[in-house]
Amino acid sequence: MVVVLKEQTPKISVRPEFQQAAAPQIKEKVFELNGIEVLYGGVSAVKDISMEIGHKEVTALIGPSGCGKSTLLRCLNRMNDLIPTAEVQGELLYHGEDLYGPNVDPVQVRKLIGMVFQKPNPFPKSIYDNVAFGPRVLGRKDGLDETVEKALRGAALWDEVKDRLKDNAFGLSGGQQQRLCIARCIAVEPDVILMDEPCSALDPISTGKIEDLMIELKEQYSIVIVTHNMQQAARVSDRTAFLMVELDAEEHNRWGRLVEYDATEKVFTNPSDKRTEDYVSGKVG
């Protein structure tokens, strides 16, 4: 799983039938990362990440565990601010505006850039109150019932819960809880939804529902999803970024680095880096 960075990456020959046209350019950028590095207590967890993320696209971050996918994702809505030892360096633009600029309010950032977590984390409140939480704390109290219904419909959960909105959210199944968390997120009407392995705790049927949902949500939202399920990345995403752990010469320090970032189809059928090919074909990781 751990790969020592060599001076130069070995060239792989690509079979002609896999040769494809260049990936379509990103039309509108939602994020631009330039040389992003994240450190925990002074130790790098990811380094040298430069990439552009498309608006209203699904972007997948894949890679072996510990390579910094969550760390990178959590930079995008300043969730790392909550970890006292974490530090973000480099330039991160959100619609061209510096996300880490001096006057940026992380609370405002998170209103626009929501997040769904690996383990469903509904609040210990009713289904209704869970979805209404965001609008309420933001002071958007008019038409709350409509907002809640719309969000639950948006998360493909309405039909299953419409008769028990007052019941505690913990009565729902894991998959329903995760869709509730998605509903809770879209009730705030964000611009971007970040998802950190949203299906890793779910059964295949619930996973399928959430994948369908992601494809629908892409009409309205930019989505960045971390997954270590490669089929999932292949099914739902437009672009895929592959990260990998890298060690320094003495093998003391390790950090994640972006190995390849391209259109999903290209990454899975015709990767330009040997390590990506090994990973997506299941040889490593």
Partner 1 sequence: MLQAESKRYGERAIKWLLALCALLSVLTTTAIVISLIGPTIGFFEIVPADEFFFGVDWTPQFEPPSFGVLSIVAGTLNVTLWGMLFAIPVGLGSAVYLSEYATPRVRKTVKPALEVLAGIPTVAIGFFAVSFILPEIIVPLWPDGLLGGAEGKPFLALAAGLGIGLMVVPIIASMSDDAMRAVPRGLHEGAYALGATKAKVATKVIFPAALSGIVASIVLAISRAVGETMIVVLAAGSTPKFTLNPVESIQAMTSYIATTATGDISTGSVDYKSVFAVGTVLFAMTLVMNVVSIRLVRKYREVYE
Please provide the DSSP assignment of 216-285 as one string: HHTTT-EEEEE-S-HHHHHHH-SEEEEEEEEE-TTS--EEEEEEEEEEHHHHHHS-SSHHHHHHHTTS--
Element (H, E) at 31: strand 29-40
CB of 24 vs ligand ADP, minimal distance in Å: 27
Intra-chain end-to-end CA distance of the chain, in Å: 5
- Under the criterion CB under 5 A, does residue 70 sit at the interface with Mg ion? yes
Nearer to partner 1 by Cβ, of 178 and 270: the residue is 178
In angstroms, the CA 186 to CA 179 distance is 10
CB of 71 vs ligand ADP, minimal distance in Å: 3
Nearer to Mg ion by Cβ, of 34 and 121: the residue is 121
In angstroms, the CA 138 to CA 153 distance is 21
Q: For residue 86, what are its two tokens?
A: 């974490």
- Under the criterion CB under 8 A, does residue 188 sit at the interface with partner 1? yes
CB of 195 vs Mg ion, minimal distance in Å: 11
Binding pattern for the stretch 41-60 against ligand ADP, x by CB under 6 A and - elsewhere: ----x---------------
Element (H, E) at 109: helix 106-112
The entry of Mg ion, partner 1, ligand ADP, none near residue 68 (CB within 5 to 8 angstroms by kind) is ligand ADP
- Under the criterion CB under 8 A, does residue 184 sit at the interface with partner 1? yes
The entry of ligand ADP, Mg ion, partner 1, none near residue 239 (CB within 5 to 8 angstroms by kind) is none
Query: Which one among 29, 56, 95, 111 touches partner 1, defined by CB under 8 A?
Result: 111
Nearer to partner 1 by Cβ, of 126 and 272: the residue is 126
Q: For residue 274, what are its two tokens?
A: 């040997």
Three-state SS string across 125-176, please?
CEHHHHHHHHHHHCCCCCCHHHHHHHHHHHCCCHHHHCCCCCCEHHHCCHHH
CB of 111 vs partner 1, minimal distance in Å: 3
Q: Phi, psi at residue 240, to the nearest 5°?
A: -130, 135
Nearer to partner 1 by Cβ, of 217 and 234: the residue is 217
The footprint of partner 1 (CB under 8 A) covers 77, 79, 82, 84, 107-108, 110-112, 114-115, 117, 119, 121-125, 133-134, 136-138, 168, 170, 181, 184-185, 188
